[in-house]
Structure 1
Amino acid sequence: MENVSLSLAELNNHIRDILEANFPEQIWLIAEISELNVNSKGHCYIDFIERDELTKKIIARQRATIWAFQYRLISGHFESIARQPLAPGMKVLVSVQVKYHVLYGLSLNVTDIDPAYTLGEQARHREAVIKQLEEEGVLEMNKGLDLTKVPQRLAVISSETAAGYGDFINHMEQNPYGYHFHIELFQSYMQGENTASSIIDALSQIYDMEHEFDAILVIRGGGAKAELSVFDDYDLSFMISQSPLPVLTGIGHERDESVADMVAWQAFKTPTAVADFLIERIANFDYALDEITRKMHILVRNTMDKASSRLEKQEYQISGMTKYILQKETSGLNELSGQLSYALKRFLYMKDRQLDQLADEVKNKSYWFINTQKLKSDELFKSLKLSKTKFLTACQHKLEILEAKAQSNDPSRLLKSGYGYITRQGKRVSSVSELNVSDNIRIAFKDGQAEASVTDIKSHKED
């Protein structure tokens, strides 16, 4: 068998013929819009995808076209029924023609769309998410938290460039009461396919700082209804339900409630409605405080009036009772004063007699004591006089003995007896041990002095 070869154009033409022969003019196709772009001529170019039900991974992709004259009709019809424009993320039921171009390959031409399917698919998805949250018991969890009466520390999830965020900030800063709010923005996408994951990341950051805030606000300013479907996302709604802080939403749709709104502590239609709620909540607390203060003032005034009345009555009663007690006590004091006066006079009289008796006793004892001491003094004087005489006699005797000894030891007497008095350098020499050979000495005699030099020394021990 010979090998058959085809050119590329022949192959593509063959593929085209097979597709056109096997596919009818119109096919109803279920797919998700991944990308949608309208060019300057009004032609709409779409990427259709299909995701795995479990993993959500893309398992098929195909480009499609809605030509300008058909796009105006299809998009207008869709928006009039679905109340939202065609947008990425929507699951749609479309009528397509399968086309294969030899040069550009396979493509789909969209000729019609069923808005009812998209609405039903969105509603089915929404109901499935709500049911799952109910079965897990978390749908009302965030509503069970307590929001402080004065929520001034606010974590806001939004886009800094969003008009809704700007309106919210202006509304809060220009509140008529002059309240001050600490507002910290956590940047997030608020539209597009990355919105849910972006908001979840922002919530995670806030949960790590939960003690720094009183509440979490998720706000955006209006937008297409299709963009609201992201707030029906299960992961986002579950994350909000697990928040340790009350979550307030202001997503910006007047007629529709998202699943995120349902699980939030409270949902509001617009960011400014959220601002009004927070401002009025603090104003209500202020009013309640003022009312309590007013009631306390009234209570205190009434209490003081009653107390004043009681005091006046008690003052009158005390005044009468005091007069009676004073009169009674004055009478008793007068009687007691008389008794004390008599007792004092009698006491003084008795003490005066005792003092007279004591004075006589002291006088008599003084005379006896003086006489006794005089006798003792006389005897002592006589004794001292006798002792003095004996003492002087003994001293005289001792002096005589000492005088005799002094005379016997007088050097002049010894010199007269033939003895000599030897000195060396003015000091008396009494032993040969005090002398050295060649020492000069002086010898005193009874009739004069002599100088001598020691030439030899002998002691009695050497002999």
Structure 2
Amino acid sequence: MKDKKTTSKTLFDDSISGLASETVNQTVNELADQESLSVSDFIRQVNQTVKNRFGRGVWLHGEIQEMKTPNHVYFTLVDQDGDKKAVLSASIWQTVYASMRVTLANSGLQLADGLKVRVFGEPDLYPGNGRFSIKISKIDPRFTLGDLIAQREEIVRQLKVKGLYDANRKVETSLVPLRVGIVTSIGSAAHADVLKTFKDSQIGFTIFVHDARVQGEDAIKSVVAAIKNLDARKDLDVLMLVRGGGSKNDLMAFDSAQIATAIANCRLPVLTGIGHEIDLSVADEVANQSHKTPTACATAVIEQVREFVDATEEAWAGVATFAMRELEASSSQLTERANRISSKVLDALASASKRLAMTAQRIKHRPAEILRLEKSSLDALADRLRLLDPVNTMARGWSITRNALGGVVQDATKLKAGDKLVTTFANGSATSTVQEISTKGKPNGKK
């Protein structure tokens, strides 16, 4: 026997089951009365509705991604709004793209991933796979150019805010930049032109080339790495960033904030030679110097070295000229002094010769007088000698007395009694002994 709860549950379940069955039957009957569409009919009707609304075409703008160009052009048009992303498949028939390329080329553009475009086309829902797309027939280059300009201006503004815009222009350049680092695509025309220009200069440059991709998806990353690697070297004087010409979007990498920042942060002066003669890229603006072509960039480095060489040669020429003037002035002064000395010597010789001639003349005219005077002097001297001759003096009664030692006795006070004396006369001598000494009449002693 079932309890009360079990009975109640069974009655409830039966009621629900009956109600559900009635609802399902009613829904099935109602749906059976409604018309259904096949998938193809549904897509066809939706497509028609879209064509009724946008049958004459519509202008859309977005960024090109995943572009493919086997024959016709296929890409995804993307609209990114924060975290939200809208995607639409797009296509351009080959015949349309042929004329569109000319329009773009006239503005220096070409379709590529990352390019923001404004295009006109007809929306289409393909029945085969239900894919919604737009068939593009026109493009507005002005929109793309305006967007590129706006992006560029914002990058420049940010660089100025960060103090990077003119940082590399403040880097002092070497007086003689003979050691050159070059960032370029090895094997490119720009690479060949630069090397030829340096070689033709016949100056002893040392060149370091760092390979880099200069366009395409990896260009920014590749160029930044090359700049940093060369700037880290201690054996370089200058860094060059060069590539050949191309469309605006070929050169888009050089408008990037990353490359501009790498240039601004370089310790070396950076010279750009990006092959475009109309517009300056952001890289050109922040570089120490910018030139229109790779060849012009290399020529600028060569001219700087030549200017130094010319200035050095001019300075040496100035030194040589100054030295020559000084030598000439010194030579002139030396010649003048030599002439003065020579003149004085000649004057002195002339004066001496004149005096000698006068002396010779006097000697010539007065020999007898001179001889007479000299003879008179000699006679006087002879007379004096005769008077002073001791023999003559003794002949007149004078004598000379010497002591025992042979010394001449001149002072009586020097004698004493008993001293032996020798007296010399004109005709002989006599020996005597002192017995008594008297001075001025007074006896001094006796033996």
Pair in the same fold by TM > 0.5: yes
Does the 8 Å contact 2:214/2:253 carry over to 1? Answer: no
Task: Please give the residue correspondences for 1:29-428 in structure 2 after superposition, counting only pairs within 5 Å.
Answer: 29-40=60-71, 43-51=72-80, 59-80=85-106, 82-104=107-129, 105-175=131-201, 178-209=202-233, 211-315=234-338
State the secondary structure of the residue aligned to 2:290. Answer: strand
Q: Select 1:28's aligned residue among 34, 40, 59.
A: 59
Q: Which residue of 1 aligns with 2:435?
A: none
Q: Distance in 2 between matches of 1:13 and 1:91?
A: 36
Say whether the 8 Å CA contact 2:169–2:287 is kept in structure 1. Answer: yes
Distance 1:130 1:13, change over 3 A: farther
Cα 1:68–1:247 change in 2 (3 A) is same
What's 2:369 paired with? none
Q: What do the CA deviations read for 1:325-370 (whole angstroms, capped 9, x no partner)?
A: 9x9xxxxxxxxxxxxxxxxxxxxxxxxxxxxxxxx9xxxxxxxxxx
Q: Distance in 1 between matches of 2:76 and 2:190?
A: 31
Structure 1 unaligned regions, length at least 5:
328-359, 361-463
User: How much does 1:156 deviate?
Assistant: 0.8
Could you tell me which residue of structure 2 aligns to residue 459 of structure 1? none
> For the residues of structure 2 that align with 1:129 and 1:13, how far apart are their CA atoms?
51
TM-score by length of structure 2 reads 0.64
* SS, match of residue 280 in structure 2: coil
Alpha-carbon spacing, 1:125–1:13, altered in 2? closer, same or farther (3 Å): farther
Q: CA–CA distance in 2 between the matches of 1:204 and 1:13? A: 61
Structure 2 vs 1, CA of residues 16 and 186 (structure 1 numbering), >3 Å: closer, same or farther?
farther
- Check the 8 A contact 1:28/1:94 in 2, yes or no: yes
1:299, CA displacement in angstroms? 0.4
Gaps of 5+ in 2: 1-23, 32-36, 352-405, 407-447
Deviation at 1:165, TM superposition (A): 0.8
Separation in 2 of the partners of 1:132 and 1:10?
Answer: 56
SS at 2:249's partner residue?
helix
Q: Is the 8 A contact 2:105 2:247 kept in 1?
A: no
SS in structure 2 at match of 1:89: coil
- CA 1:215–1:317 in 2, change beyond 3 Å: closer, same or farther? same
The residue type paired with residue 46 of structure 1 is F
TM-score, structure 1 as length reference: 0.62
Using the alignment, how far apart are the partners of 1:12 and 1:220 within structure 2?
A: 53
Deviations 1:227-259 (A, max 9, x none): 122211112112211111110111101112111
Distance in 2, Cα, partners of 1:235 & 1:179:
34
* Cα contact 1:147–1:215 (8 A) shared by 2: yes
- Cα 1:194–1:102 change in 2 (3 A) is same
Tell me by how many angstroms 1:111 deviates.
Answer: 2.1
Could you say if the C-alpha distance between residues 122 and 20 of structure 1 is closer, same or farther in structure 2, counting changes exceeding 3 Å? farther
TM superposition shift of 1:51: 4.3
Contact 2:168/2:264 (CA < 8 Å) preserved in 1? Answer: yes
Deviation string, structure 1 residues 97-146 (Cα, Å, up to 9, x no partner): 33222334232211221111111111111111112222222211111111
- For the 8 Å contact 1:32–1:92, the answer to whether it is kept is yes
Number of residue pairs matched by the alignment: 318
Give the distance between the partners of 2:44 and 2:222, measured in 1 at CA.
44
Return the offset for 1:315: 4.5
Distance (whole Å) between structure 2 residues aligned to residue 52 and residue 180 of structure 1? 55
Change (3 A) 1:20 1:194: farther
Q: Which amino acid aligns with 1:256?
A: D
Q: CA deviation at 1:318?
A: 6.3
**Distance in 2, Cα, partners of 1:51 & 1:214:** 44
CA contact (8 A) 1:20 1:99 kept: no
- Identical amino acids, percent of aligned pairs: 29
